[in-house]
A and B are shown apart, each in its own frame.
Chain A
């Protein structure tokens, strides 16, 4: 028995994945209850350990094929998923819209059916329209993982954010988290709100009314339009990316005014309580939502978020494709274990 095989067996035997149920897809964090999220984060610990090895690779998904299907460019998220799949020994394929038939008018359904015909086990989907991963899940037998759809969801971002917070704080219970900026157009915010509150955090959305969703009733959150009144009682300050096109939509008058009222300037960062953490999903607009100097402070954990992203995505891929997911995987693991 090789070391990596033993580790894998440990991973699957010591981490209870049962409450993840027979979930085949990860489309939205709305489906996940607290125990499932906690188990996923525990499983992530295992894969962080794997990632820190000299040869950061286990054979858990050997022989499985994971496709990244990105209808919208996102090099960092795609690379993170591909790295995660490779560290689990899965074969990976990358399907990018700019080099594909989608630009020739092929429908999403025809695209997924074409890819599936090549023989795939999981497809990681990014699309600029909300709901596309859910639609795709109805058209394929492969596991579908949402890597970001429109303004809707980015589940693995929220999970890696929760993992990062937990690694610093131990627990999110009672932690005061301010999510600051363009919540309205943010799939990151919609996912984070749900995961953070399910884990017991107190979430406050800080934004001008134009950058909030029309209704915040679906969530257990507080809302503030006054960053200055909130910053002193913030344990975690989560900044969202401010996109320049929002100016043309009359949502804020100028970037300068936005930064003055909702940016994490050096002065505001100084008012954060001791030990408060600063987060950002990237890519950052330094000088807009976050001062360049603030992003480089020791309590800014932005690059840690990126590093944890790989391990969280390994955990997600393992859960949707690993033991018990499909007969092929189960047989492979038991035969490895017996060898």
Chain B
């Protein structure tokens, strides 16, 4: 199953690439390692546009090794590491360090770069030196670039480099000090909330700046119905805007915060049922291009702090595919093929990852995700391969389980078990 459609076939892989795809090939390759994919979908490996690997700086929460293992188990063959590390990935030296650590990982680790120095929103980071190392997405993720003029300049500059800016849309003057969505639940719980408009104002501005500069912009983890509508309108008018949504935003609502469990604290915050419905519709009609996890590990002691003081974020890499099948396919919004598009070939195109996203055809890199769509499983509290355990889906029954993951021809996951 890939962007061109669906067919039943064997896939022969050698030297990291696909050499042949067709029916009945198994018997012609005696002695080859065979991965049983009966009943499974063979998809191009999944691509996550939004992964917090926490290294360098927060290795107690996650490392490139543990995060990559979680990614491989979730069917991902490539992740884009977000730059909010310590120090931030805002120059060639830190980017090089991350890429170096990623070389031995069971997943292809790509680096994003910060737009501004130390992600402080004041001065442009040396984007060209990072682009020379292969960085194709720049973002200050964790915060948006607040200054209009600086964002305009960054967009203009990005055009010359052929890279894409990605924005965490949140106007800080409306979001500072808040810890959940503003509405009935924040009112009841006595927690400071941020309105949907905190996100939407920056979505609106960035669409305007994309129009002004002609630059490509990717909008990270959109969470509100208003944002979806604005992106749809921008696309209809031909602007080079793309967008992603996170699994938790199309699965959970702000009501989840009612027990003050900071596992459910995330930025942007869990919204209400109407926003969830709009995100599903936006993914189904293509207004939103990609599902991205915003996998954000945090140590248990940090998530046990009072709700308003705990850090935002939740795990996602090992759950995204099953959540998408359960919420979007079983919910009637999308087909399995369309879901795989939002998880694989569409994000691969946004991040210009040429070795990922398929197609499953001879000559292409053998980066594959083999998923059993019929397998049902219940999320446990272990946190999987991540160093952290901030999983908001514990106890949920999901459909779709990754059976094997193949990274440049190497089976890094076999039968649901990580091989390294």
Contact = CB atoms under 8 A, between A and B. Distances in A.
Interface in B158-189: 182-184, 186-189
Interface residues of A, number: 23
Nearest to B195: A214
Given A135-B307, A214-B186, 12 more contacts: A108-B306, A109-B304, A127-B306, A130-B190, A131-B189, A131-B260, A150-B308, A151-B191, A153-B190, A187-B190, A190-B188, A218-B188
B193 interface: yes
Interface in A198-228: 213-218
Interface in B182-207: 182-184, 186-193, 195
A46 B316 CA distance: 55
Residue of A153, A213, A216 with most partner-chain B CB within 10 A: A213
A217 B184 contact: yes
A108 B305 contact: yes
A257 B184 CA distance: 29
Given A108-B306, A129-B306, A215-B183, A134 B301 contact: no
A190 B184 contact: no
A214 B182 contact: yes
Given A135-B260, A214-B182, A108 B304 contact: yes
Interface string A93-111: 0000000000000011100
Contacts of B192: 151
A134 B258 CA distance: 10
Contacts of B305: 107-108
Nearest to A110: B301
B183 A214 contact: yes
A113 to B, nearest CB: 11
A216 B187 contact: yes
B187 A134 contact: no
Residue of B188, B190, B304 with most partner-chain A CB within 10 A: B190
Contact of A129 (B187, B304, B307): B307
Contacts of A300: none
B86 interface: no
B189 A130 contact: yes
Given A107-B301, A150-B308, A130 B191 contact: yes
Interface of A is mostly: loop
A86 interface: no
B182 A152 contact: no
B259 interface: yes
A301 interface: no
B389 to A, nearest CB: 15
A120 interface: no
A132 B306 contact: yes
A213 B187 contact: yes
12 contacts: A107-B305, A109-B301, A129-B309, A130-B260, A130-B307, A131-B306, A152-B190, A153-B190, A213-B186, A215-B184, A215-B186, A216-B187
Given A129-B308, A131-B306, A132-B306, A152 B187 contact: no
A157 B188 CA distance: 17
Contacts of A107: 301, 304-305
A132 B190 CA distance: 12
Interface of A: 107-109, 127, 129-132, 134-135, 149-153, 187, 190, 213-218
A215 B260 CA distance: 19
B313 to A, nearest CB: 18
A135 B304 contact: yes
Nearest to B187: A213
A109 B310 CA distance: 13
Contact of A218 (B184, B259, B306): B184
B307 A131 contact: yes
Contacts of A130: 189-191, 260, 306-308
A307 B251 CA distance: 49
Question: Across chains A and B, which 5 residue pairs bring their CB atoms closest together, nearest first?
Answer: A131-B260, A151-B190, A152-B190, A129-B306, A213-B187
A149 B188 CA distance: 13
A109 B190 CA distance: 21
A107 B183 CA distance: 29
Nearest to A27: B260
Given A129-B309, A130-B308, A131-B306, A150 B191 contact: yes
A149 to B, nearest CB: 8
Contacts of A214: 182-183, 186-187, 193, 195
B304 A150 contact: no
Nearest to A150: B190
Contacts of B301: 107, 109
A107 B305 CA distance: 7
A190 B184 CA distance: 13
B14 to A, nearest CB: 53
A134 B260 contact: yes
A131 B193 CA distance: 15
Contacts of B308: 129-130, 150
A108 B260 CA distance: 14
A55 to B, nearest CB: 40
A149 B260 CA distance: 12
Contacts of B307: 129-131, 135
A218 B186 CA distance: 10
Residue of B189, B193, B259, B304 with most partner-chain A CB within 10 A: B189
A216 B186 CA distance: 11
A130 B308 CA distance: 8
A152 B189 contact: yes
A109 B189 CA distance: 21
Nearest to A190: B190
B352 to A, nearest CB: 41
Contacts of B190: 130, 149-153, 187, 190
Nearest to B188: A218
Nearest to B181: A214
A213 B309 CA distance: 20
Nearest to A139: B304
A117 B171 CA distance: 45
Contacts of B195: 214
A190 B190 CA distance: 8
Interface in B271-315: 301, 304-309
A215 B191 contact: no
Nearest to A129: B306
Interface in B305-357: 305-309
A216 B184 CA distance: 7
Contacts of B191: 130-131, 150-152
Contacts of A215: 183-184, 186-187
Contacts of A132: 260, 306
